[in-house]
Structure 1
């Protein structure tokens, strides 16, 4: 496989975060308490979780030698039983605009860190250690699919760039056959939907480990 087919970087993260903000902006404030797609979280909680992902990915590469056996020892908590356990929470009084501002800030932070981190740096992830490019691809997938979850709850249309979907599919899901619309296949690969001949997955993962 040509490496250019799977290359992902911080600017891709910044781009997809910007697209997410564009599609979610102007949603009614009360709509954010709706359930996010098939998740047990609200739309608000899901976007907080996404911001938290981007922030904690960035924090790994703030270290000269990221840990290889565990995540950073941030204290995490949940706002309610069953809600996501995060480091990042958004002041509720700031409303959806504040929520989107925090997402943009965390996405920009990750994009900046990935741009300056040595390409040989490797950091821990529960699915296996990976380099800055691997974490860029993970961040893109997290943003793509959680935006799908949120737009399901907000009743909005989300149709991300197919070429970006294809690159992250090839990079993180090499075991998945790409034989149709790459966005629909990415949703299937992340347990969001069923496809003809492909029942909805109840367990799934990506493969970001170097050399995998």
Structure 2
């Protein structure tokens, strides 16, 4: 049961990110082994590729905060490669021989890297992201959004149930989606804000973005 304080928007923390990653790993452990080659919800990628993409996102956000002076106008220049036409361009790939349990270890390890960077990077640090130069809290929020919505995609493809905590969703909405309707339920609103659902009176979005710049205090 969530405490009432957890149901209110506030700063996004490394603990929030760790919670999102652990929830994803816990949910995906229940996937049948034969289902990983199927499509992940509305995405063009299969479920294995989608976990690799999510792992790559978390790794890339951690790496972006890593240099003593992070770049403000470009990504840290790792090589991102596609394993097939139309597949995700990743620096991180899991060894297929390790099976789904190995894939989830890659996800958990990549998430832990970003959790550690958010915990240890000075809050005044700024680093580049295409949706706005951001701070460690912003990168934590980005990692949470990627984790929650791609776990939603995966749950659709793998036949699993995924319903993240309302407070977690509310905090990342407040941090990254200032135009989201504040009165709606947080999880359906996050799905709407990322082009994955509808809200009463609001059609499904065909294009979307978040705003990573730090909020005025």
**What is aligned with 2:109?**
105
- Map Cα deviations across residues 127-151 of structure 1 (whole Å, 9 max, x no partner): 0100000100110011000000000
Q: Which secondary structure does the structure 1 equivalent of 2:82 belong to?
A: coil
Correspondent of 1:68 among 46, 69, 72: 72
The residue aligned with 1:9 is 13
**Would you identify which runs of 4 or more consecutive aligned residues in structure 1 move more than 4 Å?**
none
Q: Distance in 2 between matches of 1:192 and 1:211?
A: 25
Counterpart pick for 2:178 among 165, 168, 174:
174
Equivalents in 1 of 2:10, 2:212: separation in Å? 12
Question: CA separation in 1, counterparts of 2:38 and 2:21?
Answer: 21
User: How many residue pairs get matched?
Assistant: 209
Q: Tell me the TM-score normalised to structure 2 length.
A: 0.93
Could you report, residue by residue, the CA deviation over 1:87-106 in whole angstroms, capped at 9, with x for unpaired residues?
00000011110010000001
How far apart in 2 are the matches of 1:26 and 1:156?
A: 8
In the TM superposition, residue 211 of structure 1 has moved relative to its aligned partner by: 4.2
SS of alignment partner, residue 89 of structure 2 = coil
Structure 2 contact 175–215 (Cα < 8 Å) conserved: no
TM-score scaled to structure 1, two decimals?
0.96
C-alpha RMSD over aligned residues: 1.2
Matching of residue 150 in structure 1 with residue 150 in structure 2: no
Equivalent residue number for residue 18 of structure 1: 22
Alignment partner, residue 3 of structure 2: none
5+ long unaligned stretches in structure 1: none
CA distance in 2, matches of 1:32, 1:193: 23
1:145-167 Cα deviation digits (max 9, x unpaired): 00000000001000101000011
The Cα offsets for residues 51-73 of structure 1, whole Å up to 9 and x where unpaired, read as: 00000110112111100000111
